Amino acid sequence: MVKITHKNIDIFVKAHFNNLKDKLKEFPNSCKYSLEEVITAEPKKLHEIAEWAEGRKEEYKFMIGKYKNFTAKKKEYNAYDLASKLQVNVCPYCNINSTFTIENGTRPEFDHFYDKASYPILSLSFYNLIPSCHICNSSLKGDKNFSLKTHIHPYIDSFDEVAKFSLKLKNSSFYHSIEGFYIELETTDKRAKSIIEVFKLEDRYQKHRDIILELIQKKFVYDSSYLDKLLTKYEGTLFKNREDLQRVISGGYIDSNEIGKRPLSKLIKDILEDYYNIKYKLIVDLNIGKPNQNKKIKKKPSNNSKSHPRNFWKNNLKA
Ligand SMILES: [Zn+2]
């Protein structure tokens, strides 16, 4: 879901190989690829090796045992070391759960993008080890086999560019109840669609509608003139600029490059971007601001004051 980036990634890959090579001395000479090629293979090369290794499970089964050693808490180089270098603090598959590493405490699980039972040769390949949360790795993916052809790969693909969250309004209670809307996650990319299905992303995100309800409510409270006032008062001291202020109010990182920093940031970013669409949907779905459309609002607003949320939306729709 969120692309994994790190400026030192090439150094980590090299160090990963150097730390493992002495423990993999029984790697067979008969292999078409050198041990270094297998451990450091970039995602496209992983696919090539996986195709070559099809039907060669037995020969490389020992690599699964080596992976188990790697995940054990030992003094030598292990999964904790790799996880703390990578600092992937939010699961890249779901962007819901934290995956912090705390030494000798907790770390992300490592999902094998190419399943290790089917492709044991790739058990310790750097780009086949995707730091991820327990729900994504163990509860949902399990031993399902991913491939570059069928699923997007968090080290090379940006889910953010091909899939977007949007808000679908169900009724006029949307600004005070989560029953008034649902969250849709749309994509035309087949490989992203597979990720959404495997990790049950659309269903899981419905459980976070409370965050979006708060966002809608904040949109009401922090209207444009109030934001201007806050900026006049605090720009350069509390907030860097308008975007920074929006980040504080929304509770998420809303820059594409930063959505991996905090859970649910992709959702918050997309819904904020969808704000103008929300306005449009309000016109169509709730008949606010346009007369002579099929009315879906059962009751007329009893409060005509400007501060009534419905009037707030109505006024904003004219903007
Ligand atoms: Zn996850």
pLDDT in tens, 272-301: 887 655 655 555 555 554 434 444 444 444
**Residue 24 within any structural domain of the chain:** yes
Q: What is the pLDDT of residues 131-180, one digit of tens each?
A: 999 999 999 999 898 999 999 999 998 888 899 999 888 888 888 899 99
Q: What's the pLDDT band for 100 if we cut at 50, 70, 90?
A: very high
Asked whether residue 289 falls in the same domain as residue 185, the answer is yes
For position 299, what pLDDT does the model report? 45
Of the candidates 172, 162, 163, the one whose C-alpha atom is nearest the C-alpha of residue 216 is: 172
Ligand 1: centre distance to CA 132 (Å):
5
- Specify if 1 maps to a domain: no
Instruction: Please tell me the distance between residue 94's alpha carbon and the centre of ligand 1 in angstroms.
Output: 4
For the chain, what is the mean pLDDT?
86
Same domain, yes or no: 55 and 131 = yes
Joined tokens for residue 132: 């991820």
Q: Are residues 25 and 96 in the same domain?
A: yes
114 and 228 belong to one structural domain: no
The dihedral through the CA atoms of 142, 143, 148, 153 has a sign that is: positive
Choose between 102 and 246: higher pLDDT. 102
> Domain boundary residue among 89, 111, 141?
141
Q: Checking phi first, is residue 292 left (phi over 0); if not, alpha (psi -120 to 50) or beta?
A: left
Residue at 201 is within a domain: yes
Do 21 and 65 reside in the same domain of the chain? Answer: yes
64 has a pLDDT exceeding 60: yes
Do 137 and 98 lie in one domain? The reply is yes
Look at residue 313 and tell me whether its pLDDT is greater than 60.
no
Distance, in Å, from the CA atom of 258 to the CA atom of 148, rounded to the nearest integer, reads 24
Q: Are 72 and 170 found together in one domain?
A: no
186 plus 109 within the same structural domain: no
Q: What is the pLDDT of residue 296?
A: 47
Is residue 290 in some structural domain?
yes
Cα–ligand 1 centroid distance for 1 (angstroms): 9
CA distances, 168 to each of 88, 165, 296, 315 (Å): 31, 10, 15, 21
Say whether both 130 and 14 belong to one domain: yes
Residue 242 counted as domain residue: yes
| Residue 129 CA to ligand 1 centre (angstroms) | 14
Q: Which one of 112, 141, 170 terminates a domain? A: 141
Confidence (pLDDT) at 285? 53
Residues with CB under 5 A from ligand 1 (ion): 91, 93-94, 97, 133, 136
pLDDT, tens digit, for every residue of 213-246? 988 888 777 878 888 999 999 999 998 998 888 8
For 27-63, write each residue's pLDDT tens digit.
Answer: 999 999 999 999 999 999 999 999 999 989 999 999 9
Number of domains composing the chain: 2
**Co-location of 21 and 70 in the same domain:** yes
Residue 209 CA, distance from chain mean position: 16
Which has the closest alpha carbon to 88: 51, 143, 128, 133? 133
Cα(240) to centroid of ligand 1, in Å? 31
Supply the pLDDT for residue 308: 55
266 lies in a domain?
A: yes
Residue 151 lies in a domain: no
Distance 315 CA to ligand 1 centre (A): 40
Tokens 């905090």 — which residue? Answer: 262
**Domain containing residue 29:** 9-141
Averaged pLDDT, 1-17 = 92
- Report how far residue 292's alpha carbon sits from residue 227's, in angstroms, rounded to the nearest whole number: 34
For the ranges 52-56, 102-106, 311-315, the one whose mean pLDDT is highest: 52-56
Q: To which H or E segment does residue 130 belong? A: strand 129-132
User: DSSP string covering 7-50, please?
Assistant: TTHHHHHHHHHHHHGGGGTT--TT-SS-HHHHHH--HHHHHHHH
Contact 94, 201 (CB under 8 A): yes
**What is the Cα–Cα distance from 174 to 243, expressed in whole angstroms?**
25
From ligand 1's centre to the CA of 97, what distance in Å? Answer: 6
Together in a domain, 124 and 183 = no
Whole-number pLDDT of residue 107: 95
Whether 287 maps to a domain, the answer reads yes
Q: What is the per-residue pLDDT for 181?
A: 92
Distance from C-alpha of 116 to C-alpha of 62, rounded to nearest angstrom: 11
Task: Report angle CA 99, 102, 107 to the nearest 5 degrees.
Answer: 40
**Same domain assignment for residues 176 and 222:** yes
Q: Whole-angstrom Cα distance, residue 40 to residue 223? A: 51
